[in-house]
Structure 1
């Protein structure tokens, strides 16, 4: 039996779909107050209600060790997709509790219960481009001299716990999805891209990063396990695009005016104002967030393409598919 944490989330939901196609016996983890409505609708649309009903749901929390330990009995493989995505440093305690302490709890229980396999969803934010590199790949290292968000720091620490588990006998896989494009219920952080693109007036920077369809993330995670690519890490990304290019594609699709490009000097001014507003309880832009918006980070998918022979969904096709579904979900 396999366990999926974060099973009501975007990656977790699509992973359930993928695993159900492969006839896996699935236990899915959810929090007490989490609704299953969006996951049920996902199965009704892309699979069957019968497949959804075959999933065994368990209500527990990554920080509740006794309950978590009980939930892992009989599990051979853990897909750990749960995590707290946040880029406000004031949320540091919650981010680290879930992403670090929660992952450490899972690893400790997995080792103590002789669970065989552990798949961890990390983040491209833990990979830094070195001066000699053209693209970031799986050999790229964490640069301790650079500014990182608390989210990135927490994912790095969580990953370190996973590699520690590998030294204690676990077979592990670490995946680094780039920016995930997907649709679930219109309320997820990844779906914000569609909300922003639909605004009457929208600004974006010319920063570049990698993008990937959530369906590809789910497929790669399941396929890596099937092909037993243990004790390795893989970047999962389709194409490198600028924020402007992504937004302009969506706005053109919806017959909206082209996006206004935000210059670096204007962004610096916005950061100055936002940092000042922090003293009055407002949101602010950290240096790591500023770097993410203005940086040009190109990611390589060569390793996973070589290993799996996979061809990823083109990003424009992904945007078209998920923006259409987002519109239906929110109207």
Structure 2
């Protein structure tokens, strides 16, 4: 197997989703690994604060996953394509937009990669796209067959179908590798994605989901994606998850690091459909309350264990301990809070 430093560092690379948290950290990691010839796709009015603040050295090209011509332009004369862009939403009313971006957009990107002769597509998927084991307490591995669980909403279904488009591309001759991250923890805008966990716990929210799942550092996801540029990793998917933990444990630990009281009230099944409506009313009354949807609560009520042995079998790859990530992330959050900064960034 080729070592990373043996790869052609001038190889032209294209990235989707570079303005988001995962894509921005990937840009920095690629730069740190010596890759400089990077082109990233962004919408005309996209906020490039995260990649700019991470000193990501990329050339921007305007376009969108829903604009086919821009995808062909992005992938033209490119050796590697990293697909990090996705419409992330747990709002059922957004199903059409979710599928248009995640499924149709991925299909068009795959077609563009094939027609432009891209050497390899590395697709950032999600554990949401994976099946669930039939037997309780058994782990989810890369070979678990898809079976739509009751908690799988539009986002999970779209990620599954987007993976099917990647596998279709592989069947048509496109070299691919798929990464399936669990909950990605990283510094970014505190009101977006998983970064909201710190903002929410800082408000002293008393509720916690009763489920469990996997957690992984954003920097480790970026590192794994770069290692998968190696041509020997073709036609494979990899669960990217550092540790399995209950949501209560993670939220309690964040609360402790913030000096706040831990959440003490479980979100029981009967609350899944009623709590979002109650919190919405509270917000309309001017009270501070997090935005939750039924799909989000259903997903966090599942008890799932993820097997990460396959990813750990890649030479040179290991995970940061969850505790280390939480401590570093909390320090970044508190520093940003002191400065009234809307975002914070983890160091390499």
The question of a shared fold, defined as TM-score above 0.5 by the shorter chain, is answered with yes
Identify the residue that residue 8 of structure 2 maps to in structure 1: none
Q: CA deviation at 1:310?
A: 2.4
- How many residues of Structure 1 are paired with residues of Structure 2 in the alignment? 316
Q: C-alpha offsets along residues 194-228 of structure 1, whole Å, 9 cap, x if unaligned?
A: 11111134210231100000000000000121363
Q: 1:145 to 1:135 in 2, by over 3 A?
A: closer
Residue of structure 1 in register with 2:154 after alignment: 150
What does residue range 31-70 of structure 1 map to in structure 2 within 5 Å? 31-43=43-55, 52=56, 54-70=57-73
Match of 2:34 in 1: 23
Counterpart among 215, 219, 235 of residue 219 in structure 2:
215
The answer to whether the Cα contact below 8 Å between 1:78 and 1:117 also exists between their aligned partners in 2 is: yes
SS of 2:54 mapped into structure 1: helix
SS in structure 1 at match of 2:228:
helix
**1:7: which partner in 2?**
18
User: What is the TM-score with the length of structure 2 in the denominator?
Assistant: 0.85
**Match of residue 111 from structure 1:** 114
Separation in 1 of the partners of 2:333 and 2:46? 20
Corresponding position: 1:121 with 2:124: yes
Cα distance 1:285–1:28, how it changes in 2: closer, same or farther (>3 A)? Answer: closer
| 1:287-326 CA-partner distances (Å, limit 9, x unpaired) | x544322221010100110123522111111011122223
- Using the size of structure 1 for normalisation, the TM-score is 0.89
Superimposed CA distance per residue, residues 209-251 of structure 1 (whole angstroms, 9 cap, x where no aligned partner)? 0000000000000012136311100000000111111111111
What is the alpha-carbon distance in structure 1 between the residues aligned to residue 239 and residue 317 of structure 2?
13
Structure 1 residues 1-331: aligned runs within 5 Å: 1-24=12-35, 25-43=37-55, 52=56, 54-132=57-135, 134-144=138-148, 146-226=150-230, 228-262=232-266, 264=268, 267-272=269-274, 274=276, 285-286=293-294, 288-330=295-337, 331=340
Which one has a larger percent helix, Structure 1 or Structure 2?
A: 1
Is the 8 Å Cα contact of residues 272 and 298 (structure 2) preserved in structure 1? no
C-alpha separation in 2, matches of 1:68 and 1:131: 39
Can you list the C-alpha shifts for 1:96-154, whole angstroms capped at 9, x where unaligned?
Answer: 11101111110111111111210111110122222237110101111046452100111
**Cα 1:241/1:87, change in 2 over 3 Å:** same
Distance in structure 2 (CA, Å) of the matches to 1:269 and 1:147: 14
Once residues 55 and 272 of structure 1 are traced to their aligned partners in structure 2, the CA distance between those partners, rounded to angstroms, is: 45
Give yes or no for contact 1:186–1:329 (8 Å, CA) kept in 2.
no
Q: How big is each residue's C-alpha offset from its partner over 1:6-43, in whole Å with a ceiling of 9 and x where there is no partner?
A: 00111101100111122222111111111222222122
Q: Secondary structure at the match of 1:84?
A: coil
Summarize the Cα distance change of 1:277–1:313 in structure 2 as closer, same or farther, 3 Å threshold. Answer: closer
Q: Is the 8 A contact 2:122 2:228 kept in 1?
A: no
Distance 2:220 2:323 in 1: 14
Q: Secondary structure at the match of 1:173?
A: strand
Check 1:64–1:328 CA distance in 2 against 1; reply closer, same or farther (3 A cut): same
Gaps of 5+ in 2: 1-11, 285-290, 341-348
**Contact map agreement 1:204 1:259 (CA 8 A) in 2:** yes
